[in-house]
Chain A
Amino acid sequence: MADEYILRMSNITKTFPGVVALNDVHLDVRPGTVHALVGENGAGKSTLMKVLIGMYQKDSGTVVFDGQEVDLHETAEGLDLGISMIHQELAPVPEMTVAENIYLGREPLNGLRLVDKALMRRMAQELFDEWSIPLDPAVQMKKLTVASMQLVEIAKAISYDAKAIIMDEPTSAITDREVDLLFTMIRRLRDRGTAIIYISHKMDEIFKISDEITVFRDGQWVLTEPASSLDIPALITAMVGRELTHMFPKEEAEIGDVLLEVRNLNRGPLVKDVSFTLRKGEILGLAGLVGAGRTEVLETIFGVHRAESGQILVDGERVDVHEPRDAIAAGMALLTEDRRATGIMGVLSVRDNMFAAALPRYSPGGMVDRKRIDRAAEEQRTALAIKTPSLDQLIKNLSGGNQQKVLVSRWLLTMPDILMIDEPTRGIDVGAKSEIHRIISTLAKEGKAVLMVSSEMPEILGMSDRILVMHEGEVTGEVSRAEATQDKIMQLATGTDAAA
């Protein structure tokens, strides 16, 4: 039984204009196992999965699923065969409820052939109960955080009772607590015989959950091994094709005067009386569980949402922030959490996306200085190793991690004094991640102030000089770099540290 494959993809080649995304690769997955698919940004992982479910047409190669050769042209066919997928880029229908999103396209009908909303909600509730998902099926999707949307997406994939479930970076937007929940779900699915294809850039997760690992590099297959015969350094070497020091160590920076001060900031239930200071040269981490209000704090400071009350001072001077442009004028930058909603401009080129925020610097008198733009864009492309055939490529055609890199450069180009970053390395591969950490560290060393939200403990612990922890909209504690531990932060984050 163990030798039987549920899925065999052989000699798959897929090209896009100017890009060979997959070059004669193969992937064999056994039922009842978790098979990790890893590789750098743009290695071709998502493309292979989209070929599998029929979203892209392969140029050549064969796919055998459950003993039958298949050639899918519509994603619906994949679902019928028993393959469901959690996409890297979420595509929820914001106006619909959670239940409606889960059963989109296969709504239960009542006697009058109308959608039976009550039944649909009950089905969703049962699904959530069965898998201990802490969500309300009746709320509108747009009211949810990115992390909760991700949970909905996971629930949806499970609800198909598929034989194989593809998870493309399912944990890039969720915190440890939800990751634990997801892993419990994955193990239960695996024990039922479901095959899981698991794509992630998080090394520890990969080794925690997977039975087998396949590595791709630049569209080519590199290896497939049992997880037990690999370790993190070996895996990284296979991915990047050379040895790489694992994490970039944060450099010491001189901590100067207070640059940003936030006083009694309030907005709705997720920003309650938040006060803190941020100094030049300092990296301040903002930790907490999903829904603790970290993103909302950043967005309120930046003017994405109007604050109900409170003050923001930059360099000791009060600034009135009504719109993001006011914050930018005061020297701030915000890399937002939701890449799709507030980040990329899909149909525009990589170049246009890079210069969305910094254009005033590059257009004296309103006229765009193309030469300078091209030079600066090339510099960013090299510095962040952005993989794209050209700067004219539409950003929607880049891999998820490369899109994120373009957004990072969008803000670097504005040369901010205060850099606010929400999950900066979300979906970014190990090599580029340590590169982005190096850039953040250098900026701090140059006297910039950095406010960083991250759900990744190692990132928060490794990069921050000081860590603020939030719980249900309130700052519940502050820990210095020296005294910070995962346990300490979790206690504050879950609000169980009342005694301390």
Chain B
Amino acid sequence: MSTTTNAPQDSATAITSRFNWGELARKYLIILILIGLIVLLTIFTGGSFIKTQNLINVVRQVSAIGIIACGMTFVIITLGIDLSVGATVAVAAVVSASLAQTDQASVIKFPGLDLPVVVAVAAALGVGALLGLLNGLLITKARIAPFIATLGGFTAYRGIAYIYSDGRPISTLKDGFNWFGQGDVLGIPVPIILFALVAVIASILLNRTRFGRYTYAIGGNDQAARVSGINIDRVRLGIYTFVGLLAGLAGLILAARIGSGNPTLGTQMELDVIAATVIGGTSFVGGIGTIWGSVVGALIIGTINNGLDLLNVSPFWQMVVKGAIIVVAIIIDERKNR
């Protein structure tokens, strides 16, 4: 089926291959950006950024964001949004912490209760999934737009976290619980291991399972997906439950990290999560996005946070820089999908 003339064909082939290279560069642009940032920060910090311990710090700090971003990728691929994940983190943190207090604590939520740590862990995941399911039901059954439905959760879930904890951190937690935020395995911090695990599972889910392929199909054209026999409500319900569950896991990690379930945990975290996802190439056009992109997006957020800290940039300027990077990422994304 190929063409036969010589001269124009040759030049055309040349153009084609150059174009392909550009395509490739564009696809992996964010990795180049990450590497560029690392190089710049290494130079500006006189090498302290690149130290192993600092790099591990960067990844550990961004684990919670990255974990939720893996779920947010599914959400945004289907043209949805979840603004309630930060608040879900708080609810999961206070609930799970309340089930893991030692009897040394000065204020004990459930005096005399001594459950194995696994119950607290399950509670974090369960509470997260439940709140996610609630979002999903509002969106699929009550037919409320995702932005509005989860904006409700953004406020209400945070309120629940304050009510549950009486507005105070729930502290003095069991060591087994704190291990999820402070422990390590062979020198690798547990949050990083969990982040990696979630990324692998989410990637398999998105690429290799029917659920994942349907996620893309719904984002690509939900009406066509419906006519193709896909139960779009059920898939979306699953997606919001999944991101809720991941927010629950993130809540567990953050509470364990500081050794207390604080109702302010996860404040504004939804913004970092959405930013990581979008920087990673998941598009508000729908039907486009990858897990590895979101992972790199989260690493970029972490790198910026950490690097600007090392450089003693004021937190206010940090906000400006992050905002600018998000906008630039979206501009690049727009170009790519033209």
Contacts and interface: CB of A to CB of B under 8 A. Distances in A.
Given A23-B12, A218-B1, A342 B210 contact: no
B10 to A, nearest CB: 11
Size range of the chain B interface in the assembly: 35 or more
A347 B219 CA distance: 9
A149 to B, nearest CB: 16
B268 interface: no
A387 interface: yes
Contacts of B2: 218
A366 B207 CA distance: 11
A356 B228 contact: yes
A346 interface: yes
A347 B227 contact: no
A363 B210 contact: yes
B230 interface: yes
A15 B227 contact: no
Interface in B1-54: 1-5, 8-9, 11-13, 15-16, 19-20, 23
B221 interface: yes
A24 B15 contact: no
A20 interface: yes
A368 B213 contact: yes
Contacts of B4: 220
A360 B220 contact: no
Contacts of A359: 210, 213-214
A360 B209 CA distance: 10
A359 B1 CA distance: 30
A2 interface: no
Nearest to A61: B8
Interface stretch (B121-129, B284-292, B323-331): B284-292
Contacts of A368: 207-210, 212-213
Best-buried of B208, B223, B228 by chain A (most CB within 10 Å):
B228
A348 B220 contact: yes
B311 to A, nearest CB: 39
B226 A323 contact: yes
Q: Which of A13, A302, A348, A355 has the most CB of B within 10 A?
A: A348
A411 to B, nearest CB: 9
Contacts of A356: 217, 224-225, 228, 230
Interface in A325-378: 325, 327-329, 334, 336, 341-348, 352, 355-357, 359-360, 363, 366-368, 370
Nearest to B283: A347
A59 interface: yes
A324 B216 contact: no
A324 B12 contact: no
A55 to B, nearest CB: 11
B12 A345 contact: no
A325 B227 CA distance: 7
Interface of B: 1-5, 8-9, 11-13, 15-16, 19-20, 23, 207-214, 216-217, 219-221, 223-231, 285-288, 337
14 contacts: A17-B19, A20-B12, A20-B16, A24-B5, A324-B229, A334-B227, A342-B223, A345-B220, A345-B225, A347-B219, A348-B216, A356-B217, A356-B230, A363-B209
Interface of A: 13, 15-20, 23-24, 59-60, 218-220, 302, 304, 323-325, 327-329, 334, 336, 341-348, 352, 355-357, 359-360, 363, 366-368, 370, 387, 410
